[in-house]
Amino acid sequence: MSARLTRDNVAKVADLARLNLSEAELERYTEQLGAVLDHAEDVASLDLDGVPPTAHPLPLVNVLRDDVVVEGVDREEVLSQAPSVEDRRFRVPAILGEEP
């Protein structure tokens, strides 16, 4: 399966993950991730039909609590740590009107 991991796969994944990779990084990651996926072949090649997946070690159910108002974190303290703030809100560069 990992023999099929190509430089183009890695470039696409980098784009999805919002990472800009250099040519050299693309090459290196293609090789390194390929080696990890080769090792993962032992899992990928298992016949596991009928085995249910385990996403989590605890038998989780919805955790509910009484609807009581409690103090949250301080808004000014949170905003003081943001890279850019305007009118007590997080400020970001243009979103609307971007090229897709």
Partner 1 sequence: MSVIPSTALEIAAAVRSGELSAREVLDGHLARIDAQDGEINAFNLVMIDEARAAAAAVDAQVAAGEDPGPLAGVPLALKDNLCTRGIPTTCSSRILEGWRPPYDATVVQRVNAAGAVSIGKTNLDEFAMGSSTENSAFGPTRNPRDTSRVPGGSSGGSAAAVAAGFAPLSLGSDTGGSIRQPAALCGVVGVKPTYGMVSRYGLIAFASSLDQIGPFSTTVADSALLLEAIAGHDGRDSTSINAPVPSLLESLGQGVDGLRVGLVTELMGEGIAPDVAARVRQAADALTAAGAQIGEVSVPAAAYGLSAYYLIAPAEASSNLARYDGVRYGMRVDAPTTAEMNAATRTAGFGDEVKRRIMLGTYALSAGYYDAYYGKALKVRTLIVRDFEKAYADFDLLLTPTSPTTAFKFGDKTADPLSMYLNDICTIPTNLAGHPAMSVPFGGGSDGMPVGVQLLAPALGESTMFRAAAVLEAAAPALDEVWS
Is 48 or 69 the residue whose CB approaches partner 1 more closely?
Answer: 48
Is 27 or 92 the residue whose CB approaches partner 1 more closely?
Answer: 92
List the one residue from 54, 67, 86, 87 that touches partner 1 (CB under 8 A).
Answer: 54
* Measured distance CA(50)–CA(25) in Å, rounded: 40
CA distances from 92 to 74, 82, 84, 88, 95 (A): 21, 10, 7, 13, 8
The closest alpha carbon to 21, from 33, 38, 36, 13, belongs to 13
Mask for 67-86, x = binds partner 1 (CB under 8 A): ------xx--xx-xxxxx--
Query: Applying CB under 8 A, does 3 fall inside the site for partner 1?
Result: no
Query: Applying CB under 8 A, does 24 fall inside the site for partner 1?
Result: no
Asked whether 33 and 10 are in contact (CB, 8 A), the reply is yes
- HSE (side-chain half, CA atoms, 13 Å) at 53: 2
Residues near partner 1 (CB under 8 A): 1, 5, 9-10, 13-14, 16-21, 25, 29, 32-33, 35-37, 39-44, 46, 48, 51-58, 60, 63, 65, 73-74, 77-78, 80-84, 90, 92-95, 98
